[in-house]
Structure 1
């Protein structure tokens, strides 16, 4: 339990912060939550490296439970345009988080014995790509409107230039691409804290 607690606390803090910050826009394509959520992969990978895949999965489950609680609370809070969290967003968020994080754990574990940077980098890149695809598709694709028929997502399917400069695509594609670019950048940047944190706590996990 002692080894779990720091990871659970860190993961819960990231999930709660991201659920709050996603309400605030950053530019035309992002929210502030896009800059905090990717650190969930850092927590998962540190726990995986130091304590193993089983412990990392427990931290993921704790993060998932926290996310579900945040979503349920959000569905009960009314904003200017309705609930802060729609049921479709809640489904997309939970599905994307659990799938991507568990995939991250599995890939990291498979690459554990290779160069120190390969497991966290590859697992995070693949996991974050899956996370982005699942979340934005489930949350906003017009083809999946049956998930919550009463939720109007026509605004997300408006045809606009990709990131303002490319070919015309549904708005949610631009939002997804911008989000993934942030995750890509942070996957590289967080290799430094990953290395530092692991070196500091690895003796405690052995």
Structure 2
């Protein structure tokens, strides 16, 4: 019997799926556009929007379970691929889509393994791990070999993602009462 076997998740309804996919797609698409606009030598605007993808994933995972969260990640991934190729540069689209799916699947797995601990532990650890992996994959694919200051952008991006991840614990906690699964 698994650690989370006593948890009953709500069924993922079509409206909930559509809302989650829309939210995920908007975050990824917006971040793909914003990452192309540097603020300075160590940060781009994309760092501020992308951590919301982990909040969406964690809320879906909390209420509907890891299977539903993976479903949202894969559908969001497909939409992100199509829209990113159209709106972002090809290299950013490939980097973003690769980083997104790897980081989201990691986030879902880590969150699920830690879900029964303190309310803050699963989202914080999952976001920290997945933001780090996402940053490493995205920046190395998107800008490696360019003359842009991508390493400092990556470090600034990661610092902001982690800081925003901490800040997003407040809305996660506020929504937790509504998103918590039932116990058997």
TM-score (norm 1): 0.76
Which stretches of structure 1, 4 residues or longer, exceed 6 Å deviation after superposition?
A: none
Using the TM superposition, give the Cα deviation of residue 23 of structure 1 relative to its aligned residue in structure 2, in angstroms: 3.2
- Whether 1:22 and 2:35 are equivalent positions in the alignment is yes
**Distance in structure 1 (CA, Å) of the matches to 2:31 and 2:18:** 20
**Distance in structure 2 (CA, Å) of the matches to 1:105 and 1:69:** 23
Q: What residue in structure 2 maps to residue 119 of structure 1?
A: 122
Q: What residue in structure 2 maps to residue 10 of structure 1?
A: 23
1:128 corresponds to which of 113, 128, 131: 131
Query: Which gives a bigger RCO, structure 1 or 2 (Cα 8 Å, sep 6+)?
Result: 2
Q: Map 1:1-206 to 2 at 5 A.
A: 1-74=14-87, 84-85=88-89, 87-142=90-145, 153=146, 155-156=147-148, 171-202=149-180
**Distance in structure 1 (CA, Å) of the matches to 2:17 and 2:57:** 11
Structure with the greater alpha carbon radius of gyration: 1
Q: What residue in structure 2 maps to residue 167 of structure 1?
A: none
Residues 136, 23 of structure 1: alpha-carbon distance in 2 compared, 3 angstrom cutoff: closer
Deviations 1:64-104 (A, max 9, x none): 11221122203xxxxxxxxx50x332221111100001000
TM-score (norm 2): 0.85
Residues 139, 23 of structure 1: alpha-carbon distance in 2 compared, 3 angstrom cutoff: closer
Q: For the Cα contact (< 8 Å) 1:19–1:70, is it kept in 2?
A: no
**Distance in structure 2 (CA, Å) of the matches to 1:70 and 1:177:** 26
Q: For the Cα contact (< 8 Å) 1:44–1:56, is it kept in 2?
A: yes
Gaps of 5+ in 2: 1-13
Gaps of 5+ in 1: 75-83, 143-152, 157-170
What RMSD over aligned residues (CA atoms) do the two structures have, in Å?
Answer: 1.9
Residues 24, 172 of structure 1: alpha-carbon distance in 2 compared, 3 angstrom cutoff: closer
**Distance in structure 2 (CA, Å) of the matches to 1:198 and 1:6:** 18
SS across alignment from 1:2: helix
Residues 114, 201 of structure 1: alpha-carbon distance in 2 compared, 3 angstrom cutoff: closer
